[in-house]
Amino acid sequence: MTTTRIDRRMAKLKAEGRPALVTYFMGGDPDYETSLSIMKALPKAGSDIIELGMPFSDPMADGPAIQAAGLRALKAGQTLARTLEMAREFRAGDNDTPIVMMGYYNPIYIYGVDRFLTDAVASGIDGLIIVDLPPEMDAELCIPALKAGINFIRLISSNASDIRLKQQLGQASGFVYCVSTHGTTGLATPDPQKVRQLVRRIRAFTALPVCVGFGIKSADDVQTFGAIADGVVVGSEIVHAIARGVAMGSAAASVGAFVSDLGNAVRSVPRAPRIE
């Protein structure tokens, strides 16, 4: 693969000696225009990488907050095509911030893999996290995505054996998403020691950056886990901030204030030596 925006951004942050702040939101929540304004606000507030959620009717890995966001987006008419269009509109004003589309394979399968990858590249998409495509299905999307120049990012949980880790990381690129808790997103509280052990295990099999997600909720969490890994992912709490902002009539401002606190925290993480 050629170097992607994700590769360049992670290398830049490594040189700066700080972890990445990866922020997730659901495309189209609560509506297209509000969602686009939120997306544009994220880099200004301190987000280093944006995860753009693809709404789906049966989100098996998502907790209540993201499930509700996906339902709101679908009811507002959000589709995969409109999510790609959102990325394209964002990219017209920001050619540097990496965009990772996160979701499930069904909408992409229905859209058509070849068509999707062509449109994703044209929209400025840099990476994919597809929750329900294991390594055994790499020929479906992972390998075609890599050939198209799009990173394929794996979710890795603590119950994976060493053999499974090797399989999952074989075609991984961009960064590795370290799942800090069991269960769905946004519910359990991560145990720093267990996450530290998992990060160490992952790094034994790959030189890719490792970002920790699931259950990262606050600036304190960002500092705690940012000192362990190469980045932190915040999702459900941003979705909550969107819901609060919608109730007050200022979704983008609400998200911007919350992400700004996270951005300040990630930039003040005391960096320990890399754990090998």
Catalytic residue selected from 7, 48, 62, 230: 62
CB 125 within 8 A of CB 51: no
Amino acid identity of residue 140, one-letter, is: E
Beta-strand pair 151-152/231-234: unpaired
Spatial distance between the Cα atoms of 164 and 166, rounded to a whole number of angstroms: 5
Q: By the 8 A CB rule, do 20 and 266 touch?
A: yes
Per the annotation, the verdict on 230 as an active-site residue is: no
DSSP states of 176-239: EEEE-SSSSTTSSPP-HHHHHHHHHHHHTT--S-EEEESS--SHHHHHHHHTTSSEEEE-HHHH
Distance CA 37, CA 171 (A): 34
Q: Is the dihedral of CA 173, 174, 179, 183 positive or negative?
A: negative
Catalytic residue among 51, 119, 221, 230: 51
Look at phi and psi of residue 133 and say left if phi exceeds 0, alpha if psi is from -120 to 50, else beta.
beta
Q: What φ, ψ does residue 234 adopt, rounded to 5°?
A: -120, 125
132 noted as active-site residue:
no
Phi, psi of 20 (to 5 degrees): -85, 145
Q: Which residues are catalytic?
A: 51, 62
